[in-house]
Amino acid sequence: MAAPRTIDDVENKRKHNAAERRRQLCDAAISLLADEGPRGLSHLKVDRQAGVPDGTTSFYYRTRAALLQGIADQLVRYDAEVFTEVFKDAPNSSGRVIAGMLADQLLAVRSEPQLSRTRARLELTMSARRDPGVASGFRQISESYRALVERLVLALHHDNGLDVDHALCDEQTSVLMAYLSGQTFALSNDSPEVLTRQDIERQIHAVLVGVAVEHAARQTPSSDSSGVRAK
């Protein structure tokens, strides 16, 4: 690469390097969080994990709160990258395709780098309660997941040529979020249950169909009010 020639070039290079360094430190912090939990995280340990001189992390992140916020921001950026990648070939994907992508994302939690990122995210979510500085970054993550799931739900309605019923979509999104979050927690904690992509896709559809059936039953007061029709 040619040497920078103007003040602006120098300034841009400096900013680029700082961003790279922050990313490197946050990656090290994510590994630490995943392996040891929030209490295993210190500025010095991050320096050692990243293989940088002692004091580097303190230079970029003065306080523990700033470091945690930096990690949260980094996790949000990684999620955004994944979502962009997932949707790049499929700006108007069918619900079926999106369900398959969601299943792939869920299964990716079992291997690196998603495993550490997911575990770090869960650890930070649990500690956000006692650390309000982190909470806002995590509201962002949770909203970006919800937006993705909502997009799937709307796509499925569209596939079926249905008018969009917002109350129904909201509840489908909520129940599917709970299902995906439970599976994510299980997968990132080495659940022994064997789940294939096909299982997850089928279960995603099952959740959506079930909510629609219950919803339709409520719209028809004359129908079986127990809402339980196992077949």
Binding residues for its own copies, rule: CB under 8 A, are 35-40, 95-96, 119, 122-123, 125-130, 156-157, 159-160, 162, 171, 174-175, 177-183, 185-186, 189-190, 193, 202-203, 205-214, 216, 218, 226-231
Closest-CA residue to 180 (of 203, 214, 152, 213): 203
Q: How far is the CB of 27 from its own copies (least distance, A)?
A: 19
Q: How far is the CB of 60 from its own copies (least distance, A)?
A: 23
- Tokens 């650390």 correspond to what residue? 131
> Of 39 and 166, which CB lies nearer to its own copies in the complex structure?
39
193: left (phi over 0), alpha (psi -120 to 50) or beta: beta
> Of 39 and 88, which CB lies nearer to its own copies in the complex structure?
39
Please state, in angstroms and as integers, the Cα–Cα distance from residue 186 to each residue in 88, 99, 118, 182, 183, following that order: 28, 19, 11, 6, 5
Cα distance between residue 140 and residue 71, in whole Å: 13
CA atoms within 13 A of residue 133's CA, in its CB half-sphere: 9
Q: How far is the CB of 6 from its own copies (least distance, A)?
A: 48
Q: How far is the CB of 1 from its own copies (least distance, A)?
A: 42
Tell me the torsion sign for CA atoms 199, 211, 169, 142. Answer: negative
> Of 28 and 180, which CB lies nearer to its own copies in the complex structure?
180
> Of 56 and 121, which CB lies nearer to its own copies in the complex structure?
121
Q: How far is the CB of 212 from its own copies (least distance, A)?
A: 5
> Of 32 and 60, which CB lies nearer to its own copies in the complex structure?
32
> Of 12 and 191, which CB lies nearer to its own copies in the complex structure?
191
Cα distance between residue 173 and residue 140, in whole Å: 17
Q: How far is the CB of 11 from its own copies (least distance, A)?
A: 40
